[in-house]
Amino acid sequence: MGSVLLTGGTGFIGSHTAVELLLAGRDVVLLDDLSNSEAGVAERIGRIAGRQPPFVRADAADRRALRRVFLDWDIEAVVHFAGFKAVGESAARPLAYYRNNLDSALSLLETMAEFGCRRFIFSSSATVYGERCPVPYREDMPAGDCSSPYGRTKYMIEEILKDAAAADGSLSVVLLRYFNPIGAHESGLIGEKPSGIPNNLMPYITQVAAGLRPRLNVFGNDYPTRDGTCVRDYIHVTDLARGHLAALGFAEAHRGTEIFNLGTGRGFSVLEVVRAFGEATGQPVPFEFAPRRPGDLPEFYADASKAEAVLGWRAEKSLADMCRDSWRWQQNALKQD
Ligand code: WQD
């Protein structure tokens, strides 16, 4: 068997996926330009997995660098995590988002065609369902009604990949639509490291618990949900990572494009997450209600039944596990700084 190329391999989801693939006996090559992660992550992946994967520092849109990788290793599949991912920033810098995210997908497809690599697993997002889809989201619902340029880059890349697979019957494309990944590896060695003020809920909560920020702003308490705060499908990043292992196995036996939701199928409100964090860690999270954040949908969660039926995968970890592992990582990350 050849190697699996992980673009964004030292990022949050890429690093956890690298660990799970290595532990399952797969060889991986990590590619990352370190624009939103650190080189030390590659070494820590190796420490957890008991073997060190090769790391290449390069931009996933850089065709010369990609050719080098495909010449140096027998790449049998690509899992494409690399990309800009801040929703708010994408509205301020749309061209940078379209250029960066679309270019890397195209460069990878062109390089794969040149080297006869036929399997492409893509990090997509539940954001492609948009506000018109009823919950729970199912893979066969019409997508594309995204609320940000970031979301539109995900949807556009999905469409590019579908077209590429339709034109080339030997290509196997798997689109994985992630819900809200949180948590960290239970070793406390790898996790999410936002730069600056966190945009996402869990990194903000752990920074409040660590005393780095005075309180959490809960964006909106008048949504039509059970307690007025938004509901999301939070999934442990290790469960999510294992979903990629299952998707790789699927891609080996199939052709064409297949879409899978990677979520738990269960939603929790912001206040439920705050409460679960306090109970799981013993750390209170002071909060106050703040105005709604533009673009937030009241409630969404996955219908996770297709991934279970077809891939034999489902999320196993609880919200308490997610909170404990996020908190352990926050404490470790602080020690490293
Ligand atoms: C969750 C809930 C907030 C911060 C986004 C992207 C998605 C994916 C993951 C990845 C919401 C509330 C948050 C805070 C709060 N992108 N909140 N106070 O918006 O569901 O998903 O991140 O690359 O595509 O859209 O996740 O964690 O930002 O927010 O009250 O300080 O927490 O309003 O209801 P979201 P989130």
Reported as a single tens digit per residue, the pLDDT across 65-78 is 999 999 999 999 99
Q: Above 70 in pLDDT, residue 336?
A: no
**190-197: Cβ within 8 A, 24+ apart:** 190/15, 190/16, 190/19, 190/41, 190/44, 190/45, 190/48, 190/329, 191/12, 191/237, 191/325, 191/326, 191/329, 191/330, 191/332, 191/333, 192/12, 192/237, 192/329, 193/12, 193/37, 193/38, 193/333, 195/36
Give the whole-angstrom CA distance, residue 48 versus residue 71: 28
Q: Above 70 in pLDDT, residue 337?
A: no
What is the per-residue pLDDT for 1? 86
Q: Hey, which residues are catalytic here?
A: 150
Q: Above 60 in pLDDT, residue 168?
A: yes
Residue 175's DSSP bridge partners are 122, 259
Residue closest via CA to ligand 1's atom 21 equals 180
What phi-psi label fits residue 29: left (phi over 0), alpha (psi between -120 and 50 degrees) or beta? beta
Dihedral of the alpha carbons of 315, 101, 12, 16, in degrees to the nearest 10: 60
What is the per-residue pLDDT for 276? 98
Q: Is the CB of 178 under 6 A from ligand 1?
A: no
Distance 325 CA to ligand 1 centre (A): 19
Distance 182 CA to ligand 1 centre (A): 11
Distance 269 CA to ligand 1 centre (A): 11
Distance 200 CA to ligand 1 centre (A): 5
Instruction: At 47, list the tokens.
Output: 């420490």
195-214 tens-digit pLDDT: 899 999 999 999 999 999 99
Q: Is the CB of 289 under 6 A from ligand 1?
A: no
Q: Is the CB of 86 under 6 A from ligand 1?
A: no
252-291 tens-digit pLDDT: 999 999 999 999 999 999 999 999 999 999 999 999 999 9
7-53 tens-digit pLDDT: 999 999 999 999 999 999 999 999 999 999 999 999 999 999 999 99
Q: Is the CB of 148 under 6 A from ligand 1?
A: no
The best mutation among 87, 137, 201, 296 to test binding of ligand 1, ranked by most ligand atoms within 8 Å of the C-beta, falls on: 201
Residue closest via CA to ligand 1's atom 11 equals 230
- Of all atoms in ligand 1, which is nearest to the CA of residue 217? 18
Q: Check: CB of residue 280 under 8 Å from CB of residue 328.
A: no
Distance 197 CA to ligand 1 centre (A): 13
Q: Is the CB of 232 under 6 A from ligand 1?
A: yes
How many Cβ atoms are within 10 Å of 298's Cβ, its own excluded? Answer: 17
- Of all atoms in ligand 1, which is nearest to the CA of residue 127? 24
Q: Is the CB of 217 under 6 A from ligand 1?
A: yes
* Distant-in-sequence, close-in-space partners of 18: CB < 8 Å, separation ≥ 6: 6, 9, 28, 30, 45, 49, 53
- Of all atoms in ligand 1, which is nearest to the CA of residue 151? 24
Read off the pLDDT band of 63 (50, 70, 90): very high
Q: Is the CB of 152 under 6 A from ligand 1?
A: no
What is the per-residue pLDDT for 62? 98
Q: Is the CB of 296 under 6 A from ligand 1?
A: yes
Instruction: At 38, list the tokens.
Output: 């650190």
pTM: 0.98
Distance 264 CA to ligand 1 centre (A): 16
